Amino acid sequence: MTIDNEIMPPAADAAFDDAPVVVSIKDVSKKFTIRKDNSLKERIVTLGRAGRRHSEDFWALRDVNLDIRAGTTIGLLGPNGSGKSTLLKAIGGILEPTSGTIERRGRLAALIELGAGMHPDLTGRENVYLNAAILGLSREDAEARFDDIMRFSAIGDFIDTQVKFYSSGMYVRLAFAVAINTDPDVLLVDEVLAVGDEQFQKKCLDKIREFQEQGRTIILVSHSLGQVQELCDSAVVMHHGEVKFQGSARLAVKNFREILEGRRVAEAEAAAPEEVATPGKVERVTLEVPGRAPGAEVQPGDELVIRATFSHTTPLDRWHSGFKIENQFGHLVYGTDSRQLRLQHAPLVGSATVEYRLPDVRFGGGPYFVHAFFAKANGEHIAIEREAARFVVADDDTQSGTTRVATVAREITD
């Protein structure tokens, strides 16, 4: 596992430089004891030595150290069961760490599960006040924000209906509306942005951006890597309860994908131990722009030449190769493969090199990353090399976006 601690780029706003620490995590470990007996009889029967055989220790967090400064948006990444949610709950004070300390300041709101305090038999209005009080808002504050909550949730006349009659979307909208109207300094978000319809999701993301501008701190657990890259200044990758990586969101995502790839290989090995899980490899990827020095900025209209060398320990009769180009937010900008290009590769014995020529590339300004992969005939990936090559396209101050178009504008006068 590589741990390269790239210092995150300084925030544009100068006020963020000497921001106070809002959450300070020192040597935090959390042990769960998994018991297999839960009634008095069983507990007595398995008392003493036998009892220990009936319980199992599991470290959900191990020596986690982390300082989070105000105004940052930090993503927590990790495969399932890596301790992200446990860490988030420990920050929220819901779980007490077994050892170590967590200190924090400021008002904290947790969107760990929306509507935790909602009672199905109460009306929407009663639930708003109850939930607001649970999140630490006084009655007067809740009354003052009631209109905002109503507007954001768009519940309308249903506010005086018992929430058990709400659709799941309405339920979540109301809960979210209350949570974000509590004026938190630190917002803990656990996988809840994926709720509601597209329009509501957009509204939530807009609200999160607004929070960022207001210097609020957001700690986000998400499996949507694109979302993490887009929203977060920095990210932490957790694996088996330990912090594996801490740094920029982009590098964290790369790191996280490596963990997932490692796990996929391990699973494949477990499923078929006699087979070597990684018989194939992307040996080498080079990127060339004819007429320009290596590493120079790419200008619109340039040609890109990508050469990738693949190897496989056993001969492959039929195989495909391809590549993807992503921008710095992890969005796919362009990608193709030999199947889509109707190219039939010759059987792979040892290694083979494929060349892709991309004439007249017109991407928007900024850095891009090339991932090269090859796959079996049925499309199953054999190996992928992430960020195998990188190039930067020159900025153009006449436009923004991931593509480049020579727009001509004129005002129409009658």
Partner 1 sequence: MSTTVSDRFDRLRAEPLVPAGRPAGALVGSVREVIANRSLLDLLIRRDLKSRYKDSVLGFAWTLIRPLVQLAIYYLVLGRILGASRNIEDFAIYVFAGLTLYGLFSEIVAGGTASIISNAGLIKKVYLPREIYPLASVGSALFNFGVQLIVLIAATLVSGAFPWRADLLYFFPSVFVILVWATALALLLAALNVYLRDIQYLVEVLVLLLMWASPIVYSWQMVSQHASGWLLTLYTCNPITLAILGFHRAFWVAGPDSEYPPHMLLDLGVAAAAGLIALFICHRVFTRLQGNFAQEI
For partner 1, the binding residues in 146-165 under the rule CB under 8 A are 162
- Give the separation between CA 270 and CA 272, rounded to whole angstroms: 6
Residue 16 DSSP label: G
As beta bridge partners, residue 237 has: 77, 245
Backbone angles phi, psi at 375, to 5 degrees: -140, 160
Backbone angles phi, psi at 314, to 5 degrees: -115, 155
Give me the least distance between CB of 71 and partner 1, in Å please: 7
In Å, what is the CA distance from 179 to each residue of 85, 129, 201?
A: 18, 11, 15
Give the residue ranges of DSSP H helices in 18-77.
40-45, 49-53
Closer residue to partner 1 (CB): 122 or 394:
122
| Residue choice 64, 77, 87, 91 for contact with partner 1 (CB under 8 A) | 91
| Residue choice 2, 7, 48, 96 for contact with partner 1 (CB under 8 A) | 96
Closer residue to partner 1 (CB): 15 or 50:
15
> Which range touches partner 1 (CB under 8 A), out of 10-18, 223-231, 333-341, 354-362?
10-18
Q: Structure tokens of 13?
A: 């706003």
40 binds partner 1 (CB under 8 A): yes
Q: Are 182 and 136 in contact (CB under 8 A)?
A: yes
Say whether 372 sits in a helix, a strand or coil: strand
Give me the least distance between CB of 186 and partner 1, in Å please: 9
Closer residue to partner 1 (CB): 107 or 324:
107
Give me the least distance between CB of 112 and partner 1, in Å please: 5
Q: Are 171 and 192 in contact (CB under 8 A)?
A: no
User: How many of the chain's residues bind partner 1 (CB under 8 A)?
Assistant: 53
| Residue choice 63, 126, 258, 303 for contact with partner 1 (CB under 8 A) | 126
| Residue choice 3, 5, 43, 403 for contact with partner 1 (CB under 8 A) | 43
191 binds partner 1 (CB under 8 A): no
101 binds partner 1 (CB under 8 A): yes
95 binds partner 1 (CB under 8 A): yes
N- to C-terminal Cα separation, the chain: 65
**Residue 275's closest CA among 285, 267, 286, 283?**
267
Interaction pattern, residues 162-181, with partner 1; x per rule: CB under 8 A: x-------------------
The helix-helix angle for 168-180 and 124-134 (nearest 10°) equals: 40
Q: Apex CA 21: angle with CA 216 and CA 209, to 5°?
A: 20
Closer residue to partner 1 (CB): 96 or 411:
96
Give me the least distance between CB of 15 and partner 1, in Å please: 5
Give me the least distance between CB of 277 and partner 1, in Å please: 35
Backbone angles phi, psi at 30, to 5 degrees: -135, 125
For partner 1, the binding residues in 276-335 under the rule CB under 8 A are none
- What pairing do the DSSP bridges indicate for beta strands 332-337 and 348-361? unpaired
Give me the least distance between CB of 95 and partner 1, in Å please: 5
Give me the least distance between CB of 72 and partner 1, in Å please: 12
List CB contacts of 373: < 8 A, sequence separation 6 or more: 282, 321, 322, 323, 324, 337, 381, 382, 383, 384, 385
| Residue choice 105, 202, 318, 331 for contact with partner 1 (CB under 8 A) | 105
Interface positions with partner 1 (CB under 8 A):
13, 15-16, 19-24, 32, 38-40, 43, 70-71, 89-96, 101-106, 110, 112-113, 116-117, 119, 121-122, 126, 129-130, 133-135, 138-139, 162, 183, 185, 213-216
